[in-house]
Amino acid sequence: MRNEVRRPVIPPDSSSRSRIRRRLLAWYDGHKRDLPWRRRAGDAYAQMLAELMLQQTQVATVIGYYERFIARFPTVADLARADLDEVLALWSGLGYYSRARHLHAAARAIVEHHGGVVPSHVHQLMSLPGIGRYTAGAIASIAYGRRAAVLDGNVVRVLMRLLALEDDPKRPALREQLWSVAEQLLPRSRCGDFNQALMELGATVCRPGIPDCDECPLRADCRGHERGLVDRIPPPARRATVRSVEYVVAAIRHGGRMLFVQRPLTGLWAGLWELPSEPLAAGETAGDGLRRLRERLPPKCRIKDAEAGTATRQLTHRTVLFHVYEGRAASAALPATASYGVSTGPRTGKRSARTGPKSSGSASAGPPARWLRPDELSQIGLSRAGLAVLQLLRWSA
């Protein structure tokens, strides 16, 4: 964005700050949503879980996952003792699976280094895996009453409209100035409620696009509303380029079970389980990928030549198309040297970035693999894309 449209960041004066605090907290007391983690405001573990689940995910989607997760792992120690596969299985379908891995690693760090108690200071929280400045501020203020600010997408939008800032919200210098404003606005007490009130206002009233200014408790102090700018603050984000990728997938059955393999621990859907697959390079046909996949499958596997169907998933920056083929295995043997779950992609003489590290054991060891019945799917972590392929096959519990 050009410099001429940038306005200086002039924080609210002392009397405006007092009025904003008073009005926002009064509004929150009467309008806050009844959310399960708010019923456990003093439970830092519950706040950590909720904040990690809410990253880039709608509240309505998170509620069910949160309730199932905290019922299975009611304390941070319970989570730390769990296997990662079980954690990922409960997270299946929620997306952004690095959050689940970070949550599990953070729980283990809390047990190992903090006596099983979630830290109360922002700098300690930020030393945990997956917890940045915003998440640390949310946990510290909501669970412990610390005077720590938050700055997520909702708060950024509220503050930019409040201050009439026609600027790029991702610009680092502006972000730092907004952090400063958020800190100045904090009251002496009820910091957790104030932070939640700012986020609630952005989520329910000061929404993207055209906000509901008539219902806003801060309208009298909003410079953006006064100047008629709220419908264009913040400016629309640039659309990310969406690329298309394709995979060939093999649904191999044996004795009422289907073969699943674990993906590498880095990259797309890291550590999750899927049907054996093969990526297609640009210009390749599904038949090209199918030939490579057949070479990597366990012995005595037979795949039909006819495609069983296709499934499509829209991710943030890519559209993924799966060509699904069905087959059967005469034996359930899974040789340790097989490579049916980790593809090097089209033969270029180089190892694909998708491949990731090999499993421990011999140098030629393949990835973990399991034969599973439909009623055993709850034991593993599956992506929404993997679930879409199984739905195509009508294979579920």
Give the model's pLDDT for residue 1: 44
pTM of the model as a whole: 0.85
pLDDT digits over 298-311, tens only? 878 899 999 999 99
- In the residue annotation, 246 being an active-site residue is answered as no
User: How far is residue 28's CA from residue 201's CA, in Å, rounded to a whole number?
Assistant: 8
CATH of the domain at 60: 1.10.340.30
Give the model's pLDDT for residue 334: 75
Domain limits for position 74: 3-232
Given a cut of 80, whether residue 355 has pLDDT beyond it is no
More confident site: 12 or 396: 12
Give the model's pLDDT for residue 293: 93
When divided into structural domains, the chain yields a total of: 2
If asked whether residues 252 and 139 sit together in one domain, one would say no
If asked whether residues 223 and 247 sit together in one domain, one would say no
Q: Which listed residue (51, 200, 246, 274) is catalytic?
A: 51
If asked whether residues 77 and 55 sit together in one domain, one would say yes
Per mean pLDDT, which range of 54-58, 256-260, 336-340 is the poorest?
336-340
Domain boundary among 184, 203, 232: 232
Structural domain contains residue 397:
no
Domain boundary among 213, 232, 251: 232
Residues 160-187, mean pLDDT to the nearest whole number: 96
CATH of the domain at 353: 3.90.79.10
If asked whether residues 159 and 258 sit together in one domain, one would say no
Listing DSSP states for 33-81 in one string gives ---GGGGGTT-HHHHHHHHHHHTTS-HHHHHHHHHHHHHH--SHHHHHH
Give the model's pLDDT for residue 2: 46
Structural domain contains residue 336:
yes
If asked whether residues 30 and 159 sit together in one domain, one would say yes
If asked whether residues 136 and 84 sit together in one domain, one would say yes
If asked whether residues 166 and 294 sit together in one domain, one would say no
Structural domain contains residue 237:
no
Residues 282-307, mean pLDDT to the nearest whole number: 91
pLDDT digits over 72-131, tens only? 999 999 999 999 999 999 999 898 899 999 999 999 999 999 999 999 999 999 999 999
**Which parts of the chain fold into alpha helices (H)?**
14-31, 44-54, 59-72, 76-81, 84-91, 98-113, 122-125, 133-144, 153-162, 172-185, 191-204, 223-226, 286-296, 384-392
Structural domain contains residue 104:
yes
Structural domain contains residue 105:
yes
Domain boundary among 170, 198, 232: 232
Cα-to-chain-centroid distance, residue 322: 22
